[in-house]
Amino acid sequence: MNGTRPPGLPGPLAASRSAWKAQKAEDGRTYYYHTETKEVTWTKPAELMTEREVCIQFSLATQTNVIQRALVGTGWTEFEMNGKPYWHHAETKETTWEIPDVVTNNMNKNRGEGLPRTPAAP
């Protein structure tokens, strides 16, 4: 990770000064309580996350963005069941656990956008 954090996220010292506190529910699950606002959430606040957790969240968000862009104009929509993604086509009513080829192709195209092209060999 070498100290690289996605922009806009607090540094590693923020957790020690955070108003967020981790608590245990009766069933053993961890929840988070903000001592100033009294907000309660099951989702770990970014300022309490380790650098590794922040990078994983950033990676997941980026991947979700790539998939959402790839779905545009295809008729496919991504859903989730028991934590596993599946896809449904509104027009054909087809449903699949595998990413549709058209979505995969769009993802591959989108990943290349804005990246410098490798020059052709002389």
CATH of the domain at 75: 2.20.70
pLDDT of residue 111: 62
Q: Which domain range does residue 104 map to?
A: 65-111
pLDDT digits (tens, 9 = 90+) for 5-63: 444 444 444 455 788 899 999 999 999 999 999 999 888 888 888 877 777 776 666 66
pLDDT of residue 28: 92
27 pairs with which residues across the strands?
Answer: none
Better-predicted residue by pLDDT, 110 or 81? 81
Query: Quick check: is 17 in a domain?
Result: no
Q: What is the tally of structural domains in the chain?
A: 1
Task: Find the mean pLDDT for residues 72-99.
Answer: 84
81: its two tokens: 């069941």
